[in-house]
């Protein structure tokens, strides 16, 4: 079954053009707005989540025929079916949605079941730009492709993980999945994709290099990076930093992910990797000044944009094209001002200054892209 799934999904991937749209900057800013609002509030304490069962075997088996949702028509097309078919969605979480504080508390999601999984086709990245000096980047996934390694290479700490992505699949209602989409900018800039997931045995201390359990399929929201060999890479649609791995997440944001990994009982080896990711820290006075000036210049503008977003968004959480276009212009301005003025004058707002950020790493467990739809 696994080989058939790999052949099917690989052919689907070859047909699908995962190039970004201008809405992606809006999606990133929506994520930024959520995180920025959360960071200004006291932590949203939630009661310890009850231990949830794993999805039934029948539900896992039925997932093998599922296809990606069209996010543009998700609410109108699928929500009416829920009362008749009692359909649920198997949703793969890998970032801050692992954390109860975020997923259960702030987003108000009520999962029906959950299962820790291995995802051979994906890897964790932090390549979604945020706001310099404050929230430099956010978690994302990228396609995991085996690359030849003839000799040890220099690599960032966050890129040291060479095994498959580790995450949690939640079974949620269609209504809750629609809410997840809405809180990610209404799906603007994202694709719903279906990936092959392999259950991880409870209390697994080490992550296997290759899965040994039968696959099932789960949905996740995927924000593709531009093809580096394509002219569309620099078309202004999605901001693409010169080195996508350069930025470090804030300590606050990374803590949500590591807390979630503990709460979900992810393997100790993976937790150790997450805890070893270096976070952005201001180490010089000029950076503190730069942060204050930068936020005082840009946050009022961003706040106004989010007022527009709240005022004009539709029932799916999506804003009209003109609002999305304004977000793209503003987000370009944020990073152009940082690259052209703030970084040369005030110092690095993406990565901690004054520390060695690269080290020699050998060839780790690899993988081939085989089961991404």
Is 367 marked within a binding site? no
- Give the dihedral sign, CA 311/313/317/319: negative
Is 239 marked within a binding site? no
Helix (H, G, I), strand (E, B) or coil at 100: helix
Is 96 marked within a binding site? yes
For the chain, first and last CA: distance in Å?
16
Is 39 marked within a binding site? no
**What token pair was written down for 117?**
């999984």
356 is annotated as an active-site residue: no
**Ramachandran angles phi, psi of 97, nearest 5°:** -70, -5
- Give the dihedral sign, CA 319/127/32/261: positive
Is 93 marked within a binding site? yes
CA separation for the pair 166, 207 (Å, rounded) = 8
Residue 8, class by beta-carbon neighbours within 10 Å (0-12 exposed, 13-18 middle, 19+ buried)? middle
- Closest to 261 (Cα-Cα) out of 138, 161, 116: 116
Is 94 marked within a binding site? yes
Do 199 and 211 touch, CB atoms closer than 8 A?
A: no
The one catalytic residue among 67, 184, 232, 355: 184
Q: Which helix (H) or strand (E) holds 198?
A: strand 191-199
β-pairing verdict for 88-93 and 165-173: antiparallel
- Closest to 260 (Cα-Cα) out of 189, 170, 162, 129: 170
Residues labelled catalytic: 184
Q: Annotated binding residues for substrate, as ranges?
A: 91-96, 253
Q: Annotated binding residues, as ranges?
A: 91-96, 253
């Amino acid at each position: 079954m696994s080989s058939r799934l790999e052949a099917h999904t690989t052919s689907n991937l070859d047909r699908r053009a995962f190039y970004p749209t201008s809405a992606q900057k809006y999606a990133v800013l929506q994520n930024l707005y959520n995180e920025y609002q959360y960071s200004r509030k006291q932590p949203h304490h939630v009661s310890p989540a009850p231990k949830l069962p794993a999805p039934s075997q029948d539900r896992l088996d039925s997932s093998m025929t599922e296809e990606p949702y069209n996010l543009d028509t998700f609410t109108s097309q699928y929500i009416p079916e829920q009362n008749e078919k009692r359909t649920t969605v198997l949703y793969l979480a890998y970032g801050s949605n692992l954390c109860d504080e975020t997923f259960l508390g702030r987003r108000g999601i009520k999962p029906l079941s959950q299962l820790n999984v291995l995802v051979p086709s994906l890897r964790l990245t932090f390549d979604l730009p945020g706001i310099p000096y404050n929230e430099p980047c956010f978690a994302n996934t990228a396609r995991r492709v085996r690359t030849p390694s003839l000799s040890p290479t220099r690599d960032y700490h966050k890129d040291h993980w060479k095994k498959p992505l580790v995450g949690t699949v939640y079974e949620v209602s269609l209504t809750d999945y629609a809410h997840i989409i809405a809180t990610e900018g209404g799906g603007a800039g994202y694709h719903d994709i279906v990936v092959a997931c392999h259950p991880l045995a409870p209390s697994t201390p080490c992550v296997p290099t290759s899965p040994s359990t039968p696959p099932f399929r789960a949905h996740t929201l995927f924000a593709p990076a531009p093809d580096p060999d394509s002219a569309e890479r620099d078309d202004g649609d999605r901001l693409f930093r010169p080195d996508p791995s350069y930025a470090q997440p804030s300590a606050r944001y990374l803590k949500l992910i590591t807390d979630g990994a503990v709460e979900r009982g992810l393997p100790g080896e993976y937790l150790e990797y997450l805890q070893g990711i270096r976070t952005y820290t201001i180490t010089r006075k000029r950076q503190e000044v730069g942060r204050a000036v930068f936020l005082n210049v840009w946050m009022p503008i961003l706040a106004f944009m989010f007022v527009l977003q709240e005022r004009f968004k539709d029932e799916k959480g999506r804003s009209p094209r003109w609002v999305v276009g304004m977000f793209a212009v503003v987000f370009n301005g944020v990073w152009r001002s940082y690259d052209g003025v703030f970084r040369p004058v005030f110092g690095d707002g993406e990565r901690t200054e004054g520390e060695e950020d690269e080290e020699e790493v050998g060839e780790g467990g690899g993988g081939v892209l085989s089961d991404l739809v």
